[in-house]
Structure 1
């Protein structure tokens, strides 16, 4: 369900676009800009706290990839004042430096906060819904 002011929902949609742009270009500065300083990231059970630690972990993960295609679609945004919750579906093609490409469909469950007029992720929990091309 989409609730709350359209302007805030659009800003959260654009925040997801910034996140995706950072991933595709492997641009840590762009990618880091979407996180609150005290954010939490749960990536398939690996929990990281704080923007600096989140970015360091992401850089390590991205270091093993030659290329990433990342597309995301917000499928729910509920804004309540200066906080929000959202769900975002993702489609990724991951090309490791060594190995076969994988296609991953996933889901983010997010919490956000408006800080100095800007929406930021305070919590993102990601899980894989479907995956193809996994070596095994």
Structure 2
């Protein structure tokens, strides 16, 4: 079953996905960083140049550098599944991005995140995010 667990937790996780996407579009590192657990892990195997940062501070620093390559990005994310089990949740999210590359060409990327979310300090955050490209055009 792709959506399990208490409705209020699933809604809070959906709002986490939305807050993350909003921070990307606004290029707001502080708001984006608030989406991550203190000891989080972020992996983007299709982008080895960004490494695999751990810890919120390192993840945000990596993101700030990465965003220099995606000016004016539009980023949306939709959940494919949210499975809550107590203070942990497994989430699959699909992303769609539109941006101009360095040459001014319009790029359209689709991808998927496999996530582990946790309740930290009373709110849901990303503990582990692994991103993979699905389609690039």
State TM-score, norm by structure 1. 0.93
1:66 match: secondary structure: coil
* 2:21 counterpart of 1:20: yes
Residue equivalent to 1:47? 52
Pairing of 1:1-136 with structure 2 (within 5 A): 1-44=2-45, 45=48, 46-132=51-137
Aligned-pair RMSD on alpha carbons? 1.1
Gaps of 5+ in 2: none
Aligned pairs, how many?
A: 132
Residues 10-29 of structure 1: CA deviation (Å, up to 9, x unaligned):
00000000000000000001
State how far apart, in whole Å, the 1-side matches of 2:3 and 2:70 are.
34
- Higher percent of residues as strand: 1
| Runs of 4+ deviating beyond 6 Å | none
Q: Retained in 2: the 8 A contact 1:67–1:96?
A: no
